[in-house]
Amino acid sequence: MIATPHLQALRDAAVQARARAYAPYSRFQVGAALLSADGTIFPGCNVENSSYPAGICAERGALAAAVAAGHRVFSHVVIITEAEHPTPPCGVCRQALVEFSSQLEIISVTTAGAETIWSLADLLPSPFTPQSLPHL
């Protein structure tokens, strides 16, 4: 179970990141905050592009920043949107996250205060991982 101070800090980071989302096309602002095994928090927001496929989700933005900073093991991610129901991570983000943390807990919250918690293992059963590559 995540310690309460960490959870609150993760939520705050996700809220702040969402405020910086660049989502002029979908108008769906997403904030994420990824908690590294050592307690470091990495925020991310969705960054869209006029060439639509060039956009990136909040979760993968946070992951890229974390890996670039030398972090590869994560315990929790908070996602925040203003959807009616807590938003699950998209399939591409599930795959990106499972590369590093099959044990990840995903806490998705809405700006109105709803919350859902999933494990990544539940959202992505039978994942393709580095161990799936025969030469590794």
The least distance separating ligand THU from the CB of residue 94, rounded to whole angstroms, comes to 9
Q: Which stretch binds ligand THU (CB under 6 A): 52-60, 65-73, 96-104, 123-131?
A: 52-60
Contacts (CB under 6 A) with ligand THU, residues 95-134: none
d(CA 7, CA 100): 20
Compute how many other C-beta atoms are within 10 angstroms of the C-beta atom of residue 119.
12
- For residues 64 and 57, the answer to whether their CB atoms sit within 8 Å is no
What are the DSSP calls for 12-75, one per residue?
Answer: HHHHHHHHT-B-TTT----EEEEEETTS-EEEEE-B--SSGGG-B-HHHHHHHHHHHTT---EE
The amino acid occupying position 99 is E
Position 69 contacts ligand THU (CB under 6 A): no
Binding-residue total with ligand THU (CB under 6 A): 14
Position 49 contacts ligand THU (CB under 6 A): no
Q: Which is nearer to ligand THU, 30 or 107 (CB)?
A: 30
Max distance between CA atoms of the chain, in angstroms, equals 47
Judged by CB under 6 A, the residue of 2, 7, 9, 23 near ligand THU is 23
Q: Which is nearer to ligand THU, 48 or 71 (CB)?
A: 48
Per CB under 6 A, residues contacting ligand THU are: 23, 26, 28, 30, 46, 48, 55, 57-59, 87, 89-90, 93
